[in-house]
Amino acid sequence: MSQIATLTRPQKAAAILVAMGKPAASRLLKFFKQEELKALIEGARLLRTIPQGDLEKIVAEFEAEFTEGAGLLDSADKMDTILNESLSPEEMSALMGTDVAASKVEGPLPVWPQLETLDPARLGAFLIGEHPQIAAMVLAKLSPSTSAAVLVTLDKPLRGDIIKRMMTMTTIPDAAVRIIENQIRSRVLVETGAKDISVGQARVANVLNELDKSQLDEVMRDLEEAGTGDLEGVRARLFAFEDIEILTQKARIALLDGISTEIVTLALRGAPNGLAECILSAISQRSRRMVESELGSGGAEIAQEDIMRARKSIASTAIKLADEGSIQLPTAQDVAA
């Protein structure tokens, strides 16, 4: 059965208003009664995306003109935009039966920083189902590195079309941006949030990174024996001071470059010779002589908790640099080797 046959008259009217565009629709809305506007809103909220062919048939049925490309986005969002920009807050409050003062709450979080954290393939799969102009607008809002990572997941013809549209894109109206942001929230971020466990993995890793190396290894063994899932995601975020020994020399140099000799000296108190040599070989000769001189002067009065604090500080710096992409932490295979 055609979708048109299932649409009510208010839904058809809402679809036509969306197709007419904001200026013409805004003028027409002034002539509707309050109960008619309510019917339009309810009709629009139940209205899903209408294929272009069906939209043409609806428009032909009412013998009206429509804007090419309408129907690409959710009609409820477009109707909300038309109403919000056509009626005053007081009129919207009276129409919807809401309190204007109560509705002035903090809005949703911006979608663009959240999209930056998504897997490029996941975002690319969403954009494949959208009009290329919308895909171009979305990628134009993201950082160049993220946009590039998403583009390479797309087929060449679509990729080329999107790039051409990005090159010729001008200023995007705020109303259009809000519509697309709402679509992303409801169709991408909500679903991703339900499935994304990386936040929980990071939270667990932050807790485990506070443990000593022996305690950390023991907890991880217990989790493995208990059959806890998704441990690899947690393991990829773990790093202890002792793991410096299995970093590459380049990573060790990058890690220790910004750490004071005082912290390095304190962390090396009581450290195994092999680990100490790995660290000392990654700092300058002048810094090495200073550290070795301090270590040779003794340090019996230094509290063990101060030593552990210095080691955790270095480990935390390694994790921070890894998050920034400056170094790569050892993998589970590296640890096992």
* Cβ–Cβ under 8 Å, residues 84 and 41: no
Mean pLDDT lowest among 124-138, 162-176, 190-204:
190-204
Q: What is the pLDDT of residues 89-102, one digit of tens each?
A: 555 555 555 544 44
Q: What is the pLDDT of residues 269-318, one digit of tens each?
A: 999 999 999 999 999 999 999 999 998 887 667 888 899 999 999 998 99
pLDDT value of residue 47: 64
Residue type, 112: W
pLDDT value of residue 261: 93
More confident site: 171 or 268: 268
Using a pLDDT cut of 70, give the percent of the chain over it.
66
The most confident of 152-161, 201-210, 225-234, by mean pLDDT? 152-161
Residue type, 2: S
Tell me how many degrees the CA angle 134-136-138 measures, rounded to the nearest 5.
Answer: 70
Q: Where in the chain is the domain with CATH 1.10.220.30?
A: 111-195, 239-336
Its CATH class, for the domain covering 239-336, is mainly alpha
pLDDT value of residue 265: 94
As a whole number, mean pLDDT of residues 192-213 equals 64
111-195 CATH = 1.10.220.30
pLDDT value of residue 101: 46
Q: Cα separation of 274 and 192, whole Å?
A: 44
pLDDT value of residue 159: 87
Q: Cα separation of 186 and 183, whole Å?
A: 5
pLDDT value of residue 269: 92
As a whole number, mean pLDDT of residues 107-129 equals 78
pLDDT value of residue 20: 67
pLDDT band at 126 (very low <50, low <70, confident <90, very high): confident
Residue type, 25: A
The most confident of 35-39, 103-107, 137-141, by mean pLDDT? 137-141
pLDDT value of residue 74: 46
Q: What is the pLDDT of residues 44-83, one digit of tens each?
A: 666 666 677 776 777 666 654 433 334 434 455 555 665 5
Q: Cα separation of 288 and 270, whole Å?
A: 16
Question: Is the pLDDT assigned to residue 337 strictly greater than 80?
Answer: no
313: nearest Cα among 256, 269, 271:
256
Question: Is the pLDDT assigned to residue 256 strictly greater than 90?
Answer: yes
Other C-beta atoms closer than 10 Å to the C-beta of 55 total 23
Cα-to-chain-centroid distance, residue 181: 13
pLDDT value of residue 117: 79
| Assigned fold of 3-103 | Annexin V; domain 1 (1.10.220)
More confident site: 102 or 85: 85
What's the predicted TM-score (pTM) here? 0.42
| Backbone torsions φ then ψ of 104, nearest 5 degrees | -85, 75
